[in-house]
Amino acid sequence: MWTPTHFPSAMRSLNPSTRAKAIEIANRMLEQGALDKQQVVALSVDQARKWARMAHSESLNSSWQPRL
Who contacts 20 (Cβ-Cβ below 8 Å, separation ≥6)?
A: 4
**pTM for this entry:** 0.82
The CA distance from 26 to 10, in Å, is 12
Measured in whole angstroms, how far is the alpha carbon of residue 27 from the centre of its chain?
A: 11
Instruction: Choose between 24 and 66: higher pLDDT.
Output: 24
Instruction: Choose between 36 and 63: higher pLDDT.
Output: 36
At residue 24, the pLDDT reads: 97
What's the whole-number mean pLDDT along residues 8-12?
Answer: 96
At residue 66, the pLDDT reads: 53
Instruction: Please answer whether residues 47 and 22 qualify as being in contact, where contact means their C-beta atoms are separated by less than 8 angstroms.
Output: yes
